Structure 1
Amino acid sequence: MVDINLVPHPEGSLLDLKAQPGSRKTELRGLQNGALKVCVTEVAEKGKANKAIVTFLRKTWKLKGSQLEIISGETASHKKLLIRDLTPENVLQLLRMCGVEG
């Protein structure tokens, strides 16, 4: 079992992300150093990649737009994602459904 940086938060859960903008394909690429690696085709300028990450995860996990927010690391490749209304256990279930083991 791989460790994933996923912790409870008063509004839900915090998940570490590793962003890879400018990829050939938008996809989840497993875990890297405890963070969920998310590749998006959008480039990292003017928040385009961040928006693409949130949109991709929202659609993949079938969540409302207001449930996902990047709360730190907006201009870095390592980010913290707030997932509102879901416990860490719920988030682990979503990851497993996507083929990511945490």
Structure 2
Amino acid sequence: MDGPWDQLADGLRLRVRAQPGAKADRIDGLHAHADGRPALKVRVRAPAQDGKANTALTAFLAKRWGLKKADVTLTAGQTGRDKTVHLRGDPAELAARLAADCE
């Protein structure tokens, strides 16, 4: 299975399968969609209410990979579990940081 990201000129586009309302913020590795596309499964404690889970998700990912909050942007999936997140930075460095969480 390939990684859950696509390389862009200014960073990575990351596919995420989010689970709000979890007991802890954590990454659970890869999730395979029915069509075979991989996504990174991420749990956040915040509820899926008024955008709280989306805010918690982007803040958690920024902290996890040493990015500024402004460098992690939700670009699709605001109301669903399947989301797309743009990570701004050097694509090779970002891919190396994410690789460990995808094992």
TM interval, shorter chain, is 0.7 to 0.9
Report the TM-score when normalising by structure 1: 0.87
Instruction: Indicate conservation of the 8 Å contact 2:19/2:44, yes or no.
Output: yes
Q: Encode CA deviations 1:29-87: one digit per residue, 9 max, x unaligned.
A: 00001101110011101100010011111111111111100000000100000011231
CA RMSD of aligned residues (A): 1.4
- Picking from 66, 69, 72, the partner of 2:73 is 69
Q: Distance in 2 between matches of 1:58 and 1:29?
A: 16
Deviation, structure 1 residue 12? 1.6
Q: Distance in 2 between matches of 1:71 and 1:86?
A: 18
Deviation, structure 1 residue 9? 2.5
Structure 1 residue runs of 5 or longer lacking an equivalent are none
Match of 1:91 in 2: 94
Match of 2:54 in 1: 50
Match of 1:8 in 2: 7
Report the TM-score when normalising by structure 2: 0.86
Give the secondary-structure state (helix, strand or coil) at the position aligned to 1:54: helix
Percent of aligned pairs with the same amino acid: 33
Aligned structure 1 segments of 4 or more residues deviating by more than 4 angstroms: none
